[in-house]
Chains A and B, each alone.
Chain A
Amino acid sequence: MSVGNEIYSLTVNGEHHQVKDAWIGESLLYVLRERLGLPGAKGACEQGECGSCTVIIDGEAVCSCLVMAATAIDSEITTVESLAKKNGLTEVQDAFITEGGVQCGFCTPGLVVAIEHLLNKNPDPSELEIKEAISGNICRCTGYGRIFEAVTTAVATRKAARN
């Protein structure tokens, strides 16, 4: 498959989007935010260091700033926008609020995506596994303690919902 002109399409949160008049070297982060009106993924470093741009591509949590958007033409892309449903927030999102895991909020979407990804693969992670899973997401405000609490709470809520 070859993308030689300025129009290509991406599947984001189950919907097809056309990307028009773009420079095709643009990162997925840029395309999501500036061309598709999906500003949930945040851009802070654009070099893979902060994790605030984390999205799920074909089942893997990756930094959208390091994906060339035009190469993701046949991938399933999931962003933070798709997590909350009509009837409310996810357990992880709820736990961030109740545990005070959000201060300025800049890191939150990336962390929420990384944690949802972790819990979908590993519903009962150990302390080390949680720390490892969010080691690519930087937060300048909370000191991580409350984020860690939020994950623990979300794990418990999800467990209770399963039983």
Chain B
Amino acid sequence: MSVVVPRTLTDALSAMAANPSALLLQGGTDLMVEINFNHRKPVDVIALRRVAELRAVKIDGKTISIGAGLPYQEMETGQIAQLVPALGQAARTVGSPQIRAAGSLGGNLGTCSPAGDGLPVLSALDAMINLRSASASRAVSIHEFMVGVKRNAKMPDEIIVSATMPIVRGWQGYAKVGVRNAMVISVASCCLVVDRAAGTVAVALGAVGPTVIRCRQAEQWLATKVDLKQTATIDAKLAAEFGQRVATEARPIDDHRSTADYRRHAVAKLSGRLLQRSGAQ
């Protein structure tokens, strides 16, 4: 077994090209659990913790790109939380301070669990995932990146470099349900983004399907009911009907964390509440 700790993205990419079977390690908050419990015996590891380029945040007025290795704690407050409030809120719900000091979007995308808290936000914002190998680079839509339960479209020799999302004018929020307040994996979650300029709403659900689910029908229905270009108070009846429509697009299952029925109920409530909050602004 070998461990490589490259200092630059170029070095990391050449290490990957030389050995595509090597495991990438960022914060270790998913991978080390598997290694500690012998679920995975890595042969070679490329640790990305020292690659500064993977922690970069780039803002160009219309979009923001967040480095795959940036720890969640950097998203909780400051510029990211201000420009992408839903991501700030999602980051704040991850694990504990210790987990947020290490865990990253790159790891969330790499693991691609349907309960990953960063993923509904990336989905609601139609984020692009930027991938690089030693010889090529490409950007893949988040909707194509997430392939199935813990499966994604990354090639073995690719590194996730960053996620790019639009800076949207309008209300956005993230909410999740779990068994307690801290240190909890989502039982169901929802991200809602209102784009005032386009007059559209985007709703993405976590932990209620094999990957994150976008509720396109509920989104379109809502756009026929309210003028999303303007702030409007959302009445409880409309929010409830919206929630019901969102819930019909969920595909939840029963598992050790919860039941399908409860999850469907939870996403109806979460999406309805987020919608009402968007109108209260």
Chain A residues within 8 Å of B, Cβ to Cβ: 1-4, 23-25, 27, 46-49, 51, 54, 60-63, 65-68, 70-71, 73-74, 114, 132-133, 135-137
Q: Please, which residues of chain A bring their CB within 8 A of the CB of B49?
A: 71
Shortest CB distance B115–A (Å): 15
Q: Please, which residues of chain B bring their CB within 8 A of the CB of A67?
A: 28, 32, 102
Which residue in B1, B5, B7 is a CB contact (below 8 Å) of A71? Answer: B5
Given contacts A27-B36, A65-B36, A136-B96, contact A60 B183 (CB under 8 A): no
Which of A25, A60, A73, A74 has the largest number of chain B CB atoms within 10 A? Answer: A25
Instruction: Select from chain A the residue with minimum beta-carbon distance to B182.
Output: A135
Q: Please, which residues of chain B bring their CB within 8 A of the CB of A137?
A: 96
Given contacts A1-B7, A48-B29, A73-B5, contact A63 B36 (CB under 8 A): no
Q: Please, which residues of chain A bring their CB within 8 A of the CB of B25?
A: 68, 71
Shortest CB distance B70–A (Å): 13
Given contacts A67-B28, A68-B35, A135-B183, contact A3 B3 (CB under 8 A): yes
Contact A2 B5 (CB under 8 A): yes
Contact B32 A68 (CB under 8 A): yes
Q: Please, which residues of chain A bring their CB within 8 A of the CB of B37?
A: 46-47
Given contacts A2-B2, A67-B32, A136-B99, contact A74 B183 (CB under 8 A): no
Which of B27, B35, B36, B50 has the largest number of chain A CB atoms within 10 A? Answer: B36
The contact string, 1 if C-beta is below 8 Å from chain A, for chain B 25-69, is: 101110011011100011001010110000000000000000000
For the A-B complex with A61-B97, A68-B32 known, give 16 more contacts whose Cβ atoms are closer than 8 Å. Answer: A1-B4, A1-B6, A4-B2, A46-B36, A47-B33, A47-B36, A48-B32, A48-B96, A48-B98, A51-B96, A60-B73, A61-B101, A68-B35, A68-B45, A71-B49, A135-B97
Given contacts A48-B33, A68-B32, contact A74 B5 (CB under 8 A): yes
Q: CB of B209 within 8 A of chain A?
A: no
Q: CB of B279 within 8 A of chain A?
A: no
Q: CB of B95 within 8 A of chain A?
A: yes
Chain B residues within 8 Å of A, Cβ to Cβ: 1-7, 25, 27-29, 32-33, 35-37, 41-42, 45, 47, 49-50, 71, 73, 95-99, 101-102, 181-183
Q: How far is the CA of A24 from the CA of B43 in the complex (A)?
A: 10
Which of A23, A60, A63 has the largest number of chain B CB atoms within 10 A? Answer: A63
Shortest CB distance B83–A (Å): 23
Given contacts A49-B183, A66-B27, contact A24 B35 (CB under 8 A): no
Q: Please, which residues of chain B bring their CB within 8 A of the CB of A4?
A: 2-3
Contact B32 A24 (CB under 8 A): no
Given contacts A46-B37, A67-B32, A68-B35, contact A1 B97 (CB under 8 A): no
Instruction: Select from chain B the residue with minimum beta-carbon distance to A67.
Output: B28
Q: How far is the CA of A133 from the CA of B6 in the complex (A)?
A: 31
Instruction: Select from chain B the residue with minimum beta-carbon distance to A63.
Output: B98
Shortest CB distance B281–A (Å): 23
Q: How far is the CA of A46 from the CA of B29 in the complex (A)?
A: 11
Given contacts A68-B47, A135-B182, contact A24 B3 (CB under 8 A): yes
Q: How far is the CA of A10 from the CA of B182 in the complex (A)?
A: 32
Q: How far is the CA of A52 from the CA of B96 in the complex (A)?
A: 13
Which of B37, B45, B181 has the largest number of chain A CB atoms within 10 A? Answer: B45
Shortest CB distance A116–B (Å): 13
Given contacts A71-B47, A135-B183, contact A61 B98 (CB under 8 A): yes
Q: Please, which residues of chain A bring their CB within 8 A of the CB of B71?
A: 60
Q: Please, which residues of chain A bring their CB within 8 A of the CB of B5?
A: 1-3, 71, 73-74
Q: Please, which residues of chain B bring their CB within 8 A of the CB of A71?
A: 3, 5, 25, 45, 47, 49
Q: How far is the CA of A114 from the CA of B100 in the complex (A)?
A: 13
Contact A48 B99 (CB under 8 A): yes
Q: How far is the CA of A132 from the CA of B183 in the complex (A)?
A: 11
Given contacts A47-B36, A49-B183, contact A136 B97 (CB under 8 A): yes
Contact A25 B95 (CB under 8 A): no
